[in-house]
Amino acid sequence: MPLEVKIPAMGESILSGVIAKWYVKDGDIVKKDQPLFELETDKITSEGTAESAGKISLKVAAGTEVKIGQVVATIDAAATAAAPAAAAATPAEAAKSASPTPAKIENRESKFENSPAVRRLAAETEVDPASVAGTGKAGRVTKGDMLAAAAGEGTRSEAKGDSSTTPSPPAPSPIASSPSPGAGTAERQTRRKLSPLRQKIAQRLVAAQHEAAMLTTFNEVDLSAVMALRAKYQDDFVKKHGVKLGFMSFFVKAVVHALKEVPAVNVQLDGDTLIENHYFDIGVAVSTDRGLMVPVVKDCDTLGMADIEKLIAAAAAKARDGKITLADLEGGVFTITNGGTFGSLLSTPIINPPQSAILGMHAINERPIALNGQVVIRPMMFVALSYDHRVVDGKQAVTFLVKVKQALEDPARLVIGI
């Protein structure tokens, strides 16, 4: 009897999702624990794997909304034994089957499991990740590596000039390519439904703006001291902990320091009840191909800088690889988002409900400032604190941001607690 492939349960609050992509085709022979599909929900993206080897029959198409527990495919284990004989029917067919196909390309040489983005590109471009030199951590193949490899394949194909291929016609002029009335929409636009995750992000952002009395206060931070510490101790830090000392651990520690100094910011509103938090689980926003996610680093007040850097890196990797879990996203009391990674100079971040505040980091630029009566050039960053004015007063918000600024400009404060 064929084994049913069902959508697994992923938490009480998740009832359905969308099959974003199948990694296999109908009729393929799959291996046990082989990834079969990518499931997008309104909170996380996960993969479904084969519980046994056999021939798979797909029951739903990619892009279909499915419910938890729904059967989306079946696997016939009895068909596994017949597969090798069929694959080797003729030398030509055997040679053809030996080349990687879009649905089953795997990085056979890598000790890492390829991310969903890499597998997607492998299926679309027919570039084998095993043949790509990875530039990611410890040699991991990244999305950028695959795009570069695909571009290289295209260039080499053009350079070969295969005589058996009919030359492509010259590109039409802009005037000639203009669509005729009634036929333009399909050529000039692409329409696709929002993923459940993107829909949830949109709903939460709109709700945050409509339901909270949101206000933003700004300041600027001289990061000379932080940059000097990183430059002085970076090599020793990496040797001892195996991870780089980044800026985010300083900001996390500064936020924890400020939350302790101004506990009125570490609150959330539940109806007409004010909840005061006495723990320090900090969310760090991560940009992924599917949208923004906020993994939470637990108990940051008890962690060292190295622990924070490692946990942030691990959470970011899980988010980008589609392996984040609900437990990784729950429980945060405050969020930090870094638009400076993409060059943002100034922005007003939107709070992450039910939290009452969020800190926005921005690009570091050298700017002239007045210091002790002199004009000097310093690496400066604008920081923004958006907060819910229903529960956080302006004085408390401004004091909080000043505490963050003081801790970053004089990191010794983080050690002695002032």
Residue with tokens 């064929």: 2
How many Cα atoms within 13 Å fall on the side-chain side of residue 114? Answer: 31
How far apart (Å, rounded) are the C-alpha atoms in residues 120 and 39? 13
What does the CA dihedral 401, 281, 251, 293 come to, rounded to 10 degrees?
-100
Confidence of residue 144 (pLDDT cuts 50, 70, 90): confident
Confidence of residue 147 (pLDDT cuts 50, 70, 90): confident
What does the pLDDT read at residue 214? 94
Whether 124 has a pLDDT exceeding 80, the answer reads: no
Higher pLDDT, 325 or 91: 325
Residue 278 annotated to the active site = no
Sequence-distant (6+) residues with CB within 8 A of 323 are 46, 47
How far apart (Å, rounded) are the C-alpha atoms in residues 277 and 296? 15
How far is the CA of 254 from the CAs of 82, 223, 226, 250, 257, in angstroms? 62, 13, 11, 6, 5
Sign for the pseudo-dihedral over CA of 318, 319, 324, 330: positive
Contact yes or no for 383/362 (Cβ under 8 A): yes
Confidence of residue 112 (pLDDT cuts 50, 70, 90): low
State whether CATH 2.40.50.140 applies to domain 3-158.
Answer: no
Share of the chain above pLDDT 90, in %: 41
Contact yes or no for 125/151 (Cβ under 8 A): no
What does the pLDDT read at residue 186? 54
Which of 241, 281, 389, 410 is the catalytic position? 389
Sign for the pseudo-dihedral over CA of 131, 134, 140, 146: negative
Beta bridge partners, 388, equal 214
Beta strand pairing call for 282-284 and 334-338: parallel
What does the pLDDT read at residue 18? 83
Phi, psi of 107 (to 5 degrees): -85, 90
Nearest in space to 226 (alpha carbons), one of 402, 380, 42: 380
* Strongest mean pLDDT among 23-32, 178-187, 331-340: 331-340
Higher pLDDT, 142 or 393: 393
Domain ranges of the chain: 3-158, 213-416
pLDDT digits (tens, 9 = 90+) for 152-208: 654 444 444 444 444 444 444 444 444 544 445 457 888 877 777 777 778 878 888
Whether 394 has a pLDDT exceeding 60, the answer reads: yes
Beta bridge partners, 35, equal 49
Which homologous superfamily is 213-416 in? Chloramphenicol acetyltransferase-like domain (3.30.559.10)
Whether 307 has a pLDDT exceeding 90, the answer reads: yes
| Angle at which helices 394-409 and 247-261 cross, to 10° | 140
Q: Which helix (H) or strand (E) holds 315?
A: helix 305-320
Q: Average the pLDDT over 325-351 and give the result.
A: 91
How far apart (Å, rounded) are the C-alpha atoms in residues 295 and 409? 27
Which of 26, 289, 299, 393 is the catalytic position? 393
Tokens standing for residue 249: 């651990």
What does the pLDDT read at residue 409? 96
Query: Which stretch of 15-29, 149-163, 387-401 has the lowest confidence by average pLDDT?
Result: 149-163
Residue 257 annotated to the active site = no
The mean predicted confidence, pLDDT, of the chain is 81
Q: Is residue 281 classed as helix, strand or coil in its secondary structure? A: coil
